[in-house]
């Protein structure tokens, strides 16, 4: 049905996106230069109360979904947030886009704490922070046309696109994400998974936001399509200087796209740094364990890679271990780990040395351990050690056609 879509991206990007770039150019409310922190998250907490009783609800505890998260997002930067399922990634995302109110902490957008805003000021901020959801099968209303889905945000923010102008805007957005603008009247079921996610991305871009929070945007997609959607996001990020929070449950996908990476465990970030610091010089045992499970394309490197198998389950967020929350699964745990909470900071051993191991890591006994070995020199040289799944088969250019995504 949509075979005419193959190679679509070759024809797009340049033309359609010019309009979006122009809109950006015209928007003079953006004093932020690349590199400034556009978002500063401090001590962010979300506790869901656990109650007993039907008539007289009594709180007996709390699910500590997010339990003190700190990070900065610089203007024009892509920050990857990685962690196992249930560690609180989606809850962080929902708080950033105001779908959930935080229990505590602050979210500063351009210096202003948005958790304290309401009314018009909040509406203006919400416009600038948009979300791309995990599952393109459930996040698009099946009874709405693609045009109505992408244009829906204009109902709340008519100032961005006056009524007469909307159809053209939506068609521009379809073009920008590599879909045929003539598909504007089609329904979600007429598209494949990857194409649906492109529709979700177009909707995220509709209000010309500055920040995109993408919550596992490719996890629900076929491996063969994942790289293409990641490449599309990468291109859009650069083209529109978006600040990007890219959430994923494994480290292999985010390396390709992130400037920095934060690793989450049980409601907190346990290690954060540039992609080189995290992938090549990890110091937190949890990051090292996650990295040891990342697929390595190079067979020689793969042979020399050490697998770290974590024992036991992730503890319940309603019952977080004392001291270091990772201690029940950590092979290095000692008495101090039970007694003292390790702070997310540069560990003392690395403070005075000039090494990529000098980055924030919440571990009392932080040690550098290279888990993914350097690839053997040869034709593969220079390619990502932790490649994107499916990347091996995909063309190197970001403007790939969605040929692997033609089901339905
Ligand atoms: N509305 C809610 N009420 C109670 N617990 C919740 C709610 N939403 C999420 N949780 C719990 O919070 C934890 C973190 O969830 P989530 O942020 O979805 O994790 P992730 O996105 O990393 O998989 C999980 O244990 C989840 O069960
Ligand atoms: S503080 Fe202790 S338990 Fe926690 S990660 Fe470091 S060594 Fe392991
Ligand atoms: Mg999630």
pLDDT tens figures, 105-130:
999 999 999 999 988 889 999 999 99
Indicate if 186 and 298 belong to the same structural domain.
no
Is residue 397 one of the residues assigned to a domain? no
Q: Provide the whole-model pTM.
A: 0.85
Indicate if 242 and 339 belong to the same structural domain.
no
Residue range(s) defining the domain that contains residue 326: 284-361
With a 6 A CB cut-off, is 65 part of the ligand 1 pocket?
Answer: yes
With a 6 A CB cut-off, is 47 part of the ligand 1 pocket?
Answer: no
Q: 31: pLDDT confidence band, cut at 50, 70 and 90?
A: low
Is residue 20 one of the residues assigned to a domain? yes
Residue from 86, 270, 320 to probe ligand 1 pocket by mutation (most atoms less than 8 Å from CB):
86
Q: Is pLDDT at 395 greater than 70 in this prediction? A: no
Last residue of a domain, one of 243, 258, 273: 258
- Note residues around ion ligand 3 (Cβ under 5 angstroms): 89-90
The CATH number of whichever domain residue 7 belongs to comes to 3.40.50.300
Q: 53: pLDDT confidence band, cut at 50, 70 and 90?
A: confident
Instruction: Give the residue whose CA is nearest to atom 16 of ligand 1.
Output: 88
Q: Which residues have a Cβ under 8 Å from the Cβ of 103 and sit 6 or more positions away?
A: 45, 46, 47
Indicate if 338 and 231 belong to the same structural domain.
no
Indicate if 120 and 156 belong to the same structural domain.
yes
With a 6 A CB cut-off, is 89 part of the ligand 1 pocket?
Answer: yes
With a 6 A CB cut-off, is 285 part of the ligand 2 pocket?
Answer: yes
**Number of structural domains found in the chain:** 2
Indicate if 87 and 224 belong to the same structural domain.
yes
pLDDT more than 70, % of the chain: 83
Is residue 72 one of the residues assigned to a domain? yes
Is residue 267 one of the residues assigned to a domain? no
Is residue 392 one of the residues assigned to a domain? no
Indicate if 203 and 252 belong to the same structural domain.
yes
Indicate if 254 and 295 belong to the same structural domain.
no
Indicate if 184 and 110 belong to the same structural domain.
yes
Do the Cβ atoms of 211 and 130 come closer than 8 Å? yes
Indicate if 150 and 246 belong to the same structural domain.
yes
Cα gap 207→185, rounded to integer Å: 20
Do strands 360-361 and 104-109 pair parallel, antiparallel, or not at all (unpaired)? unpaired
Cα gap 66→290, rounded to integer Å: 20
Summarize the confidence of residues 358-371 as an average pLDDT.
95
Is residue 401 one of the residues assigned to a domain? no
Is residue 88 one of the residues assigned to a domain? yes
With a 6 A CB cut-off, is 80 part of the ligand 2 pocket?
Answer: no
Is residue 115 one of the residues assigned to a domain? yes
Indicate if 152 and 220 belong to the same structural domain.
yes
Cα gap 283→358, rounded to integer Å: 9
Distance (Å) from CA 31 to ligand 3 centroid: 32
pLDDT more than 90, % of the chain: 66
Distance (Å) from CA 34 to ligand 2 centroid: 35
Last residue of a domain, one of 361, 383, 401: 361
Summarize the confidence of residues 235-250 as an average pLDDT.
92
Q: Which atom of ligand 2 is nearest to the CA of 284?
A: 5
Indicate if 296 and 180 belong to the same structural domain.
no
With a 6 A CB cut-off, is 82 part of the ligand 1 pocket?
Answer: no
Secondary structure letter of residue 372 according to DSSP: S
Q: 11: pLDDT confidence band, cut at 50, 70 and 90?
A: very low
Indicate if 291 and 238 belong to the same structural domain.
no
Summarize the confidence of residues 382-401 as an average pLDDT.
34
End-to-end CA distance of the chain: 7
């Amino acid at each position: 049905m949509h075979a005419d879509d193959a190679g679509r991206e070759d024809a797009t990007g340049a033309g359609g996106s010019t309009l979006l770039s122009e809109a950006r150019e015209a928007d003079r409310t953006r004093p932020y230069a690349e590199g400034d922190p556009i978002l500063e998250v401090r001590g962010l907490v979300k506790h869901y109360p656990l109650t007993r009783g039907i008539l007289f609800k009594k709180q007996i505890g709390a699910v500590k979904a997010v339990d003190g998260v700190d990070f900065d997002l610089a203007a024009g930067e892509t920050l990857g947030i990685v962690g196992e399922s249930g560690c609180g990634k989606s809850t962080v995302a929902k708080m950033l886009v105001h779908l959930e109110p935080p229990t505590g902490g602050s979210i500063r957008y351009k210096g202003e704490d948005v958790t304290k805003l309401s009314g018009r000021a909040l509406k203006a901020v919400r416009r600038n922070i948009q979300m791309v959801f995990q599952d393109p099968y459930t996040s698009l209303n099946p009874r709405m046309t693609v045009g109505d889905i992408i244009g829906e945000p204009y109902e709340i923010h008519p100032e961005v696109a006056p009524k007469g102008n909307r159809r053209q805007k939506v068609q521009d957005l379809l073009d920008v994400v590599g879909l045929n603008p003539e598909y504007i009247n089609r329904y979600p079921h007429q598209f494949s998974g990857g194409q649906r996610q492109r529709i979700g991305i177009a909707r995220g871009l509709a209000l010309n936001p500055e920040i995109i929070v993408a919550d596992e945007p490719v996890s629900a997609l076929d491996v063969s399509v994942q790289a293409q959607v990641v490449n599309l996001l990468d291109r859009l990020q650069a083209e529109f200087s978006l600040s990007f929070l890219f959430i994923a449950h494994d480290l292999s996908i985010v390396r390709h796209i992130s400037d920095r990476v934060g690793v989450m465990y049980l409601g907190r970030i346990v290690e954060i740094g540039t992609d080189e610091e995290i992938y090549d010089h990890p110091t937190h045992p949890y990051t090292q364990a996650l990295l040891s499970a990342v697929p390595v394309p190079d067979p020689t490197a793969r042979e020399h890679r050490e697998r770290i198998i974590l024992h036991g389950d992730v503890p319940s967020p309603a019952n977080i271990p004392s001291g270091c929350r990772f201690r029940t699964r950590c092979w290095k745990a000692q008495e101090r780990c039970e007694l003292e909470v390790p702070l997310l900071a540069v560990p003392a051993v690395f403070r005075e040395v000039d090494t990529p191991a000098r980055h924030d890591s919440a571990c009392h006994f932080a040690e550098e351990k290279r888990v993914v070995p350097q690839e053997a020199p040869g034709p593969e040289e220079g390619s990502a050690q932790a490649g994107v799944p499916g990347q091996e088969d995909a063309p190197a250019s970001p403007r790939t056609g969605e040929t692997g995504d033609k089901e339905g």
